[in-house]
Structure 1
Amino acid sequence: MAGIAQGLENVNSEQIKSFRDFLISYNKLSEICFNDCVWDFTTRNVKSQEDRCISNCAEKYLKMNQRISQRFQEFQMIANENVMAAVQKSGNKI
């Protein structure tokens, strides 16, 4: 039973970490786009120019984030392949 509880705790911990990472990314996106795109504080309405700017900003940020994630995954795969090659090479010498 303790093993199951520990496993559930690890899953919950991973979910919390994942959600925390999502919130950090969302807050960063909101801050960047708000600072770049909201200029007029004299009205409660969002102007069409600001709305377009925010849409473009969010789209660029998300595409950039996706591209970085893809490159990171590629780098990780190459690094893992290099480690496996080194292990096999050292294993063959023994």
Structure 2
Amino acid sequence: MDGLTPAENRELETRLQKRQVKEFMAVFGNLVDNCFQSCVDDFTSKALSGRESGCISRCVTKSMATQTRLGERFAELNAAMSAEMANR
């Protein structure tokens, strides 16, 4: 970010960090909501049943793997686009 003062750089960093935290919390909240809705259906006890616990574990693992793969694919496409732009 050339041309920014140190104060402007700090402000930009602060805003970016706040945005990243907000986006992370939204993704995390969606993950929790999705896995809860998919796996928890017995409200007769405070504790999760073994089936519910296993389902939540699989749901979280699958969701995290999906997010990881999406990030990898995005990086692959970004690298391809960057290489294409450099070759022009």
TM beyond 0.5? yes
TM-score per shorter chain, which class?
A: over 0.9
More helix per residue = 1
Q: Which has the higher Rg, Structure 1 or Structure 2? A: 1
Query: Structure 1 segments of 4 or more deviating over 6 A?
Result: none
Q: What are the within-5 Å matches in structure 2 for residues 1-94 of structure 1?
A: 3-86=5-88
Per-residue deviation, 1:3: 1.1
For the aligned residue pairs, the C-alpha RMSD in angstroms reads: 1.1
Per-residue deviation, 1:18: 1.1
What runs of 5+ residues in structure 2 fail to find an aligned partner?
none
Aligned to 1:90: none
**For the residues of structure 2 that align with 1:25 and 1:69, how far apart are their CA atoms?**
13
What runs of 5+ residues in structure 1 fail to find an aligned partner?
87-94
Structure-2-length-normalised TM-score: 0.92
Alignment: residue pair count: 85
Per-residue deviation, 1:11: 0.5
**For the residues of structure 2 that align with 1:17 and 1:83, how far apart are their CA atoms?**
29
Structure-1-length-normalised TM-score: 0.86
